[in-house]
Chains A and B, each alone.
Chain A
Amino acid sequence: MWRLLSLSPGTLAQGEALQEAPEPQAFHPLESPWEPRRAGPSPWPEPLYFVDGKEREEALLQGEGLALLGCVAAGALVHQGGRMTLLPPLVRRVGVGLAEPLRVGELLYEPVAAEGTDYASLRAGLQRVREELEREVARGLSGGLLLVDGPVRFARPGGLPLLGYVKTHWARYLPEGEEALLQALSPGERTPAFRVRRGGRELASWYLRLPLLPEGLRPPQAGLLRVETPLEAPFSELADLSLGLFPDLASHPVKDPRAPQNLAPIGALEWALGRRMGSQEVVERLLRRHLGGG
């Protein structure tokens, strides 16, 4: 039997310490010289896909061990013929740490094995499900260029082009000397590409600065985006393309506190995914009715 420990535990575990990132081990520039680069506008490739996922921790249960109930969703947008369209998203309810499906009213949580029994590994499990779901969505997309929110974690079949972009920079990739270039980047400029190795995958990466509105006082990192793509791809072409692409999609600080890095279509996609997960309030009410009172 399961006992309800906490509803939406994710909101409790916000305190991830901001730590100073260590100096990077190795640095392999792929383009030279090490100076800002610009590119003329180029047409967007068609179709252009955007994939993003979303996860929501809905309840923490205690039975034999801990189990984390959550909802994950992933979806894709396609830009074609001047229109941005939402493709049918995938939504799944899972229970990380469950051994068999758990039915809570109308909700059915599918079991997902956890690597550990503590809360952190349950969360990691949920994250893994989301990544898997994103990959599944990406597999269904044919041709064109794919943009994913976050680092590149998978390759597209047939070596189709793929760009990942990172909005917040926890890790440092550049030695101190080269890092100075980031501050010198003007809007619409990028650094030369450099090689990144992560989890056995070889990637090309570069920083670019999004246009910022003239008003306001901003830290030197404002509007800085790090983009990466598998090393096999024609990265320097993609890097030039990204200079036209991302500024065009940038959001506005009035609308989104994470602007301009959080792209407008991704914001809309996240909103749409959140909607497909159902009302959190209703889910909580269902969970409380069926699991509460322990």
Chain B
Amino acid sequence: MERIGVVLGRREATPLEFWVGVEGEGLLRLDDLVVVEGFHPKVGRVRYFGMVDHVAKVHEGEAYDTDTFLAVAGRIPVSLAYVAHVSVTRILPEEFFPPDPGSPVYLAQGLDLELALYYDAMKNQKGSTRLPAGLLPNGEVAYLNLEFLNGVKGGHVNISGISGVAAKTSYATFLLKSLLESGVLEDAHQAKVLLFNVKGEDLFFLDKPNARLTEEAKEAYARLGLPATPFGSVAFLAPPKKEGYVPDLDTRLEGVRAYHWDLVQFCQRGLLPFLFADRSAMSNLGFLVAHVTERLRRLAEGQKGPGLLVGDWPGEELPEEVNFDALGKVRLKSFAHLVRYVEYKLLGPETGEGEGDKGWVARQARGTLEAFVRRLWASVEGVGHLVRGDRPGNPPDPLKGEQVHVVDLAKLSPQAQMFVVGSLLKDLFERKERGQYRGRVFIVLDELNKYAPREEEGPIKDILLDIAERGRSLGVILIGAQQTASEVERRVVGNAAIRVVGRLDAAEAERPEYRYLPASFRQRALILPQGAVILHQPEIPVPLLLRFPFPAWATKREEVLEDNSAEALRRELF
């Protein structure tokens, strides 16, 4: 054990915090872990483990600030005081009496470090639950207790941080890597991941090695016990272009599938509400949405798709491409047709003052019906290419096939983004509720403030709340991220057992959502460098500052390591 200093007597020493005077050549930095031994004849030996959260140096014996000039010039002697404030993380045994001033302080290393950070408690009957979460500033591996992530004792992760400093998405993907490949999650092979790509096309190279991966980063992966490799089993899904079925992506051309729903799926699965994300703005409309959703569901009953057969489309006004089909019914072939059909059912024929179908209008005033139809028409432009009637739908199914599903939202209109996220989450959660998939499902969703805003209500927020509150017992774990946690529904953030903070905006850091961070960490969150986050987990009373290695997978086209080996070329050519 390396002796680093003594407990100071001039300042109060308590069982929860004390000051350390660093002696001689000793070095004590923020985040260093220390251990102090106390003794009382009635209790015996007590060990205090703590983390340094404040360090300071001051010239003792200087009465005036200008004395420093004299000291530097060698005119007066000064003694340099090097002090550190320690927050106690643990006392063994749990006897809460203060340490004696003057007690020697040692750096906590090896076993002491594990005790200080409760690593010894991170285990269950089957073995260790220590999930590598990054590297501590002193180079040791930082762990988080998997049981607070996989739903056993707690679940969900919430990541906050401003954009552009590679904290949120990078840390989320690093955490996934650790979850899937560290071997700590015992049924990792069964786990599925649904990743929403909300910005750019960063996540579309998860399966390609990163050309900029340095030796140093590889070493960091080795220390963490993780292979420095890209993700092995990834499906890439992107919305089709407005015309045709080619995935709408700029940088990645191969291996991406286009996803869309067909009209029958749209009706059968009851996806209509996700086109009306701003439910708070309407009261009667909400009822009408539910009613029409139900009507559409009944209409689609027993149909195979992709087009939707309707029996009562009026003979006149038939658009060119709509065909009469089986048994005198009309086959709707696009979302616009469906909207037109709903308009007909609600408002009657376009010509004249027609009446809508009584079964559909549900006794709503004409104004409400018109508002509904207007909104529906407004969504055609954004959603028309996602809900189609001319081809069997293949919406993303994260529970089948590859382990990781990346679903692109970046180029969609906000309404379409809502629609995709809402539809997928609803489908996923319902299937997990029915017990149709045994493994765990991890959902990574950035911009939570958009999907579960603090102020407004909406169908997606309901699902996210459901996942946050009930998901962990069903094995659905949300890894949510946002720039500002203060703008996200409190219950979604509050249910996350693991909280991660990247660099924060100064005003944001002062909000009550970050009160769980000690003041020194809130201050530090403003200056966090790239690749560093603050992690808070329930068992450890202090947050940990972590570094995580540079991604081993490419995060943009330029980083993709081209495989020019003879073997690869042979595969390419023959």
Q: Report how many A-B pairs have Cβ atoms within 8 Å.
A: 35
Tell me if A13 is interfacial: C-beta within 8 Å of chain B. Answer: no
Q: For the complex, is A70 an interface residue (Cβ under 8 Å from B)?
A: no
Q: How far is the CA of A255 from the CA of B71 in the complex (A)?
A: 14
Residues of chain A within 8 A of B78, CB atoms compared: 268
User: Are A84 and B64 within 8 A (Cβ)?
Assistant: no
> By the criterion CB–CB under 8 Å, are A265 and B79 in contact?
no
Contact B77–A84 (Cβ < 8 Å)? yes
Give the chain A neighbours of B63 by CB distance below 8 A: 255
A79, A84, A249, A272: the one within 8 Å of B71 (CB): A84
Name 27 interchain pairs, CB-CB below 8 A, sorted by A.
Answer: A77-B77, A82-B73, A82-B74, A83-B74, A84-B71, A84-B74, A84-B75, A84-B76, A84-B77, A86-B77, A86-B79, A254-B64, A255-B63, A255-B64, A255-B67, A264-B70, A264-B75, A265-B75, A265-B76, A265-B77, A267-B76, A268-B61, A268-B76, A268-B77, A268-B78, A271-B61, A272-B61
A228 to chain B, nearest CB (A): 23
- Asked if A269 is an interface residue, CB under 8 A from chain B, the answer is yes
B73 cross-chain contacts in A, Cβ below 8 A: 82
Interface string of B66-105 (1 = CB under 8 A from A): 1100110111111100000000000000000000000000
**Interface size on A (CB < 8 Å)?**
18
Residues of B within 8 A of A265 (CB): 75-77
**Shortest Cβ distance from residue A45 to the other chain B in the assembled complex, whole angstroms:** 14
Nearest A residue to B64 via CB reads: A255
With both chains docked as a complex, state the minimum distance between the C-beta of B68 and any C-beta of chain A, in angstroms: 12
Max count, chain A CB within 10 A of own CB: residue among B66, B73, B77, B78 = B77
A248 at the interface (CB under 8 A from B): yes
Report Cα–Cα, A162/B491, bound state, in Å: 79
B556 CB to closest chain A CB (Å) equals: 54
Q: How far is the CA of A268 from the CA of B73 in the complex (A)?
A: 14
Complex contact B75–A248 (CB within 8 A): yes
In this complex, how many residues of chain B approach chain A with their Cβ under 8 Å: the count is 14
Other than the given A268-B76, A271-B61, 5 more pairs (CB < 8 A) read A77-B77, A84-B74, A255-B64, A268-B77, A272-B61
Q: Once the chains bind, are A264 and B76 in contact (CB under 8 Å)?
A: yes
* Interface presence of A85 (CB below 8 A): yes
Listed from nearest, the 6 A-B pairs whose CB atoms lie closest are: A268-B76, A84-B77, A86-B77, A82-B74, A84-B74, A264-B76
Residue of B nearest to A275 (CB): B61
| CA of A264 to CA of B77, assembled, Å | 9
Report Cα–Cα, A85/B79, bound state, in Å.
Answer: 9
Q: Are B77 and A272 in contact (CB under 8 A)?
A: yes
- Contact (Cβ within 8 A) B77 A269: yes
Interface residues in A219-276 by Cβ distance below 8 A to B read 248-249, 254-255, 264-265, 267-269, 271-272
For residue B23, give the distance in angstroms from its CB to the closest CB of chain A: 16
Given the contacts A254-B64, A255-B64, A249 and B75 also touching, CB distance less than 8 Å: yes
* Chain B residue contacts of A84, Cβ below 8 A: 71, 74-77
Bound CA span A264–B78, Å: 12
Residue of A nearest to B73 (CB): A82
Determine the distance from Cα of A271 to Cα of B76 in the docked complex, in whole angstroms.
11
Contacts of B76 in A (CB 8 A): 84, 264-265, 267-268
Per the bound structure, the CA–CA distance linking A265 and B66 in Å amounts to: 14
A254's nearest neighbour on chain B, judged by CB, is B64
- Report the separation of the CA atoms of residues A84 and B75 in the bound assembly, to the nearest whole angstrom: 6
CB nearest to A81 among chain B residues = B74
The docked-state distance in angstroms from the alpha carbon of A245 to that of B82 is: 32
Chain A residues with Cβ below 8 Å from B61 are 268, 271-272
**A33–B123 alpha-carbon span in the complex (Å):** 93
Residue from B63, B76, B78, B79 whose CB has the most chain A CB atoms within 10 Å: B76
A79 near B64 (CB under 8 angstroms)? no
Q: Which residues of B contact A267 (CB under 8 A)?
A: 76
Residues of A within 8 A of B77 (CB): 77, 84-86, 265, 268-269, 272
Q: Which residues of the partner chain B approach A255 to less than 8 Å between Cβ atoms?
A: 63-64, 66-67
Contacts of A269 in B (CB 8 A): 77
B70: A residues at CB distance < 8 A: 264
Chain A 69-91 near chain B by CB (<8 Å), digits 1 or 0: 00000000101001111100000
